[in-house]
Chain A
Amino acid sequence: MSTATRSLPRTIGAHAILLTYTVIALFPVIIVIMNSFKSRAGIFGAPLTPPTPKTVDLIGYTTVIGQGDFIHYFQNSLVVTVASLFFVLLFGAMAAFALSEYRFRGNSLMGLYLALGIMIPIRLGTVAILQLMVASGLVNTLTALILVYTAQGLPLAVFILSEFMKQVSDDLKNAGRIDGLSEYTIFFRLVLPLVRPSMATVAVFTMIPIWNDLWFPLILAPSEETKTVTLGAQLFLGQFVTNWNAILAALSLAIMPVLILYVIFSRQLIRGITSGAVK
C-alpha cells in the first residue's frame, strides 16, 4: 500500500535520524566498555579510539576482581531478583485468576485496590517500611528486599495477567470441571501453561527495576553480606574516584551481564510491549 507514499529521500532521512539516535544511545556504553580495556595513558591520550595493541591493558579488571567482592554482590542480586520474581509471578497469577475467573462480591473493588499500587510508588512508604523491618528484625537481610519487591511487583502483574487470563477459553476450564478437576488443578495444570507467554512479559517488566534498584538496598540492606550489585557498584565507584581503570572496568562488568541478558530476551520484551500488554 505504501509504494506510492514512499520516496527515496524520505527513506534516507528516516535512516539518518534513526542512525543518529542509535549512535547517541549506544555511544556512552561503547566508550565505557572500549576504554575499560586500555591503559591509563590510552584512556586519557585517545579516549575515542578502540584499544590498540599498544594501549591494551587489563589492569582495571584485575583491580576490580581483586578488591571488590563483586561475585558475592552478584549472588545477592540474583537471589533477590529470582526469589521476588517467583513470588510476584505465583501470587500475581493466583490473584489474577481469582479476579478474572470468579464472580464474587467485591471483585471489582478488590481489583481496584490491587491496582492502586501501579500509580502510587511503594517508595513513599519507606519510613514505615523501615520501622516494620526493624521491628521484625529483618533489616540487613535479603528477605526484607524480597518482601518489598514482591509487594512492588504485584499490582502490575495482577493487572496484566488478569487481562490475559480473561482470554483463556471457558470451555476448556469447564471441561476440566466436568472431569472432576479441582479449581487448583485447573489453575496450575490448565491455565498457567496457557498464559506462559504473558508471564514472560511480566517477568521482564518486574525484573529490570528490581535488579537496578538502589533505594531499598541502600536503606534496608546496606551491610556487607547483603549488598546487591547495584549498591556495591555505587559504593565501589565512589571509593575509586581517581582510579579510572578500575572505574571503567567496574562499569563494564556491571553493564555486560544486563546487556547479554537483554540481547537474549529483547525479542520477548519488545513483543511484550508492542502486543499492548501495557496499556
Chain B
Amino acid sequence: MAAAPKRPFRWHIGVFLAPAVLVYTAIMILPLAGTLQLSLFRNIDQSQVFVGLQNFRMLLGDPNWSVNFWNALGNNVWFFIIHMLVQNPIGVLLAALLSSPRLRFAAFYRTAIFVPTILSFVIVGFAWKLILSPLWGVAPNLLDLIGLKSLFTPWLGKEEYALTTLSLISVWQFVGIPMMLIYAALLSIPEEVIEAAECDGITGMSQFWKIKLPLILPSIGIISILTFVGNFNAFDLIYTAQGALAGPNYSTDILGTFLYRAFFGFQLQVGDPNMGAAIATMMFLIILGGVCVYLFLVQTRLRRYQF
C-alpha cells in the first residue's frame, strides 16, 4: 500500500482502508486460517500436538467418523441436486413470465413470491413442520381437496422422504433469488436484439430458447455457484426442523449439522474442536473447489455471450 514514488505518503488511503481490512482480517481471514491449522493438531494430555493429516485419516477412514461423514456429504450432494433441478428451473420460468411486456400485477407477483426469502429459517422450518404434521391435518386436508389424501404420509418423519422434503422447503424459501437475478438479466437484454429476432420471425417460446436463454446463461452460472456455496454451508433449516441429530436416523444430516455435532458434541458424543476444524476444512475445500470450477471453467466459457 506504499505511495507512488516521488509523492508524499498518502496516509488517507491507509485510513480509509484500515478499519475494513483490520476487522475483516481479524475476524474472518485469521480464524479461517486458524481453523485450517487446528485441523492438523490433536489435543493430547491437555496440549495441542501436531499430528499432520491424522484427523483427516480418521474422518475418512475410521468407521466412527467416516460413516457419518460420507452420509452427510451424500445428503448434501442430494440437497444441492434438488436445488439445481427444482429451484433454478422454477426461478427461470417465473422470471420469464414476469418479464413478459405489459404484464399486469407484475409488481405484486414479484413482491409476493419473494416473501419466503426474507423469513428466517426458524420461521420457515417450524411453519412447515406444523403444516406437514399429521397431528394438525393441514396437509392431509389439502390433499383431500384434490382427491389425493391417500398420498399423505408424515414426510418429515420418514427416512426415505425427509431429506427431499427439507430440500423442497428450502427451494420454496429461496426461489425468489434466482427469480430476481434472472428477471434482472432478462430486463437488461437490449431491445434491438429482441426486435431483430422478431423481424426474423423468432417469437414466443423459440425466442426464449434461442435468444434469451443463451443471453442469461451467465446469470444462471452465478446462481448455480451461489446455490452451491449456500447449500454446502447450510445448517439452520435442518437444525430447526430436525434438531442437531438430523433425524430420523441421520437421514437429513448435512455437513453443517455434522460440523455442529462434532464441534460441540451432542448427547453422548463429546465435542472435539480439532475434528470440527477438520470437517470445516473439508467444507472449505469442497466450496473452494466449486468456486474454482466456476471461475475457471464456467465463467470463462460464458463470457463469450456477453455484449
Contact = CB atoms under 8 A, between A and B. Distances in A.
A43 B136 contact: yes
Nearest to A183: B12
A41 interface: no
B142 A104 contact: no
Contacts of B104: 15
A91 interface: yes
B28 interface: yes
Contact of B93 (A17, A24, A276): A17
A158 B16 CA distance: 12
Interface in B136-159: 136-138, 141-142
Contacts of A182: 12
Contact of B119 (A29, A44, A87, A213): A29
Interface string A220-264: 000000000010011001000000100110010011001100110
A119 B20 contact: no
B13 A151 contact: no
Given A24-B172, A125-B34, A274-B183, A14 B100 contact: yes
Contacts of B256: 123
A47 B12 CA distance: 62
A95 B20 contact: yes
Nearest to B184: A274
B284 A124 contact: yes
Contacts of A29: 115-116, 119, 127
Given A4-B198, A183-B12, A247-B126, A127 B273 contact: yes
A227 B243 CA distance: 19
B194 A1 contact: yes
Residue from the set A110, A127, A147 with the largest chain B CB neighbour count within 10 Å: A127
Interface in A168-196: 182-184, 187
Contact of B229 (A121, A150, A247): A121
Given A126-B263, A128-B35, A273-B181, A47 B138 contact: yes
Contacts of A255: 119, 123
Interface in B209-240: 222, 225, 229, 233, 235-236, 239-240
A18 B1 CA distance: 52
Contact of A127 (B100, B280, B288): B280
Interface centre among A17, A119, A129, A155 (most CB of B within 10 A): A119
B86 interface: no
A128 B15 CA distance: 28
A237 to B, nearest CB: 5
B284 A104 contact: no
A51 interface: no
Given A5-B198, A127-B276, A230-B120, A48 B172 contact: no
Contacts of B16: 94-95, 97-98, 183, 187
A72 to B, nearest CB: 17
B110 to A, nearest CB: 6
B127 to A, nearest CB: 5
A270 B180 contact: yes
A122 B34 CA distance: 12
Given A2-B102, A114-B20, A211 B120 contact: yes
B184 A124 contact: no
B123 A273 contact: no
Nearest to A107: B1
B109 A125 contact: no
B255 to A, nearest CB: 10
Nearest to A259: B115
A47 B281 CA distance: 46
A266 B276 CA distance: 39
B122 A214 contact: yes
B233 A124 contact: yes
Interface in B273-299: 273, 276-277, 280-281, 283-284, 287-288, 291
B34 A131 contact: yes
A31 B286 CA distance: 39
Given A5-B198, A126-B280, A212 B27 contact: no
A176 B142 CA distance: 65
A28 B287 CA distance: 32
Contacts of B110: 270
B38 A48 contact: no
Nearest to B264: A219
Most chain A CB inside 10 Å of its own CB: which residue of B112, B114, B119, B120: B120
Contact of B280 (A99, A124, A184): A124
Interface of B: 1-4, 10, 12-13, 15-17, 19-21, 23-24, 26-35, 38, 90, 93-94, 97-98, 100-105, 108-116, 118-124, 126-128, 130-131, 136-138, 141-142, 172, 175-176, 180-181, 183-184, 187-188, 191, 194-195, 198, 203-204, 207, 222, 225, 229, 233, 235-236, 239-240, 256, 259, 263-264, 273, 276-277, 280-281, 283-284, 287-288, 291
20 contacts: A1-B101, A1-B198, A5-B203, A6-B100, A18-B113, A32-B127, A44-B137, A91-B23, A110-B1, A120-B32, A124-B281, A126-B263, A128-B31, A132-B31, A148-B27, A151-B26, A208-B118, A213-B236, A255-B119, A262-B118
